Structure 1
Amino acid sequence: MQDSPLSDIRIGQVTAQWAKAQKISSQYFPKIDSTNLKAKTEAFSEEAFNEHLILYVTDHQTAGRGRGQNTWSDAGSGSQLLSTWSFMLEQALHPTAAPMMGLALYRAAVATWPFLEWNLKAPNDLYIGNKKVAGLLLESLSQGSDHRLLVGLGLNVISSPENVSTATSLVHELPESVPLLAEDWIAFLERLVFEMSFSLQLAHEAMNSTSTQALLHALNKHPLLKEQYTALDQNGNLSTPSKQISWMEL
C-alpha cells in the first residue's frame, strides 16, 4: 500500500485480494446498496452452507446502515472498509455476543497500532481519542436449526466523511512518521478474523471475568463518558454507580 498514492487505494479491493489469498470466501463489489443486505439475502443459500465465513466488501455503499434508523456515511472514494462478515454458527448466540464482537474489533486495533488512543463507546463504536473511526452493526439470523451472524463493519481508513465533525480516520490519526503500511493492514485483518472467531467460540455463554474486565476497561477509556461503567451482567446489562443500562437499548 505504501508504494501507491493513498488516493489511488481502494480499501475494499485490497481487502478482497487479501481474503482471496487467505482462501476466505468473499465477494467484492466496486459499488453496492449495502453489504449487510447482500449478506442477509444469501445467508442460507446453498453455497453459504459450505462456508464458515463469507466476507462481503465494497468501496462504495449507496444505502449503508447503522444501528436502528441510523445510516453509515460513505465518503464514496474507496477510502473506507465497508464490509459484512457472515459467520455460520452452531447454535444461537448469548446476549453478550454483541459486546464480545466490539471487544474483538478493539483488540485487533490495539494489537496493530498500540500507540493510538483506542477506546470503545457503547454499544459498538470504535474511537481514537474523542473521534469515531469505526462502527459495528450485528444481525443474527436463524432458519430452523441453522444460524448466521452478520457483522457489519465500517472503518474510516484513509479518510472520513467531510460532513461528520465527530469522525476521524486511521491515516489522519497516525503520526507523520508512521505511514499506513500494507503489512500493518494485513496484520490488522488477520488479527480481526482471529479475534472475531475466538469471540464466537465464547459467544454461547456469559462473558468470562477476563473478557468482562477487558471490555469495561475499553469502555471506560472513552473520553466523552459521563459516568464510569462498573459491571456487565450475563444478560448484557451495563451498570454505573447510578443506573443499569441494557446493551440492546443503547
Structure 2
Amino acid sequence: MSADAWPEGVARHALDSVDSTNAVAARLASSLSGPAWIVAAEQTAGRGRRGRPWSSRRGNFYGTHLLHPTEPREVVALRSFVAALALRDACVALTGLPEAFSLKWPNDVLLNGGKLAGILLESLGQGGRVQHLAIGIGVNLIAAPDAAEVEPGAVRPVSLLAETGVRVTPETFLEALAPAYARREESFTRLGFGPTREAWLSHAARLGEQIRARTGHELREGLFETVDAHGALVLKTGSGRVAIPAAEVFF
C-alpha cells in the first residue's frame, strides 16, 4: 500500500455537524459489516476520557474508526497504542518533523511537549465479548482549547498550525491517517502487541523520568520504566515496581 492510498475495504462517512463521531459510530455499528472511518466538521457534544467535554471547533479533526474485532477485550483495548502510533505517523508524514512528536501514556500525542491529540476507545458488546470498537480521535489542527478549558496540572494544549506553521485540513489529515492506521493495524493483528509496544516505547514521552500517575483518588509517583506486555504503565517507586493498568499521567 502506498503512503497515500486509501485502505481497501474501509468505508468513509463524512458528516457536517454531529453530537460526537463515537456516538454516530455506535448508532451505525450494527449496519456496517466492515471497518469504517466516520468524520465530522463539528461536534456539539464531543467527549474525552472520563466523560470530559472535548472542545470541537471547526477546522480541527474529529473522527472515529469503527472496527469489529474478534480478540478478547483486554487485547482489543491495546488498540489505543495502535491508534497513537498511526496518529504520530500521519503527523510526521504531513510535517516532516519526526522529532517534534512524542506519545504520552496511555492515549495522547504530544507536539513539542504539548497535547496535540487525544484518543478515546469505546466498545459495544455482551458477556465480555467486544462486538464493535469505536476509536475516537481528536486533533488540534488549527486551534487548541484555552488553558482554562483543561484541568489544573494537565499538559498544555497546542495546535499543529501554531507549533509548526503547517496548515492541514481535516480531509487531508484523514487521507494520511487512514492508511497509517491500516498499516499499524495489520502489524498488530499479524504479529501481536510486541512490535507495537516496542514502536510505542521508542517514541514515549518522559521514558526513564519521574512522573506522577493518578488512579481514582490515589496519586503514585515514580520512574517511568516501561509499558508491560498488557499495556500497563510500569513505575519504579520507593516501594518497588508498580504496574498501573489505567491512570491519568502528569509530568
* Alignment TM-score > 0.5, same fold: yes
Candidates 221, 229, 233, aligned match of 2:224:
229
Distance in 2, matches of 1:181 and 1:83, equals 13
- 1:1-250 equivalences under 5 Å are 24-45=10-31, 48-49=32-33, 52-75=34-57, 78-93=58-73, 94=75, 95-115=77-97, 117-142=100-125, 147-162=131-146, 163-164=148-149, 166-175=156-165, 180=168, 185=173, 188-202=176-190, 205=192, 207-208=193-194, 210-221=195-206, 226=211, 228-242=223-237, 243-250=241-248
| Structure-2-length-normalised TM-score | 0.73
Moved more, 135-144 or 148-157: 135-144
CA contact (8 A) 2:235 2:242 kept: yes
Deviations 1:72-130 (A, max 9, x none): 1122xx21111111012233341533323323322332344342510111110111012
Give ranges in structure 1 of 5+ residues lacking alignment.
1-17
What's the % identity of the aligned pairs? 26
SS at match of 2:64: strand
C-alpha change, 1:224 and 1:34, in structure 2 (3 Å) is: farther
Q: Please report the RMSD computed on the Cα atoms of aligned residues, expressed in angstroms.
A: 3.4
Give ranges in structure 2 of 5+ residues lacking alignment.
151-155, 212-221
Distance in 2, matches of 1:221 and 1:195, equals 26
CA positional deviation for 1:238: 1.8
Greater fraction strand: 2
Count of matched residue positions in the alignment of Structure 1 and Structure 2: 221
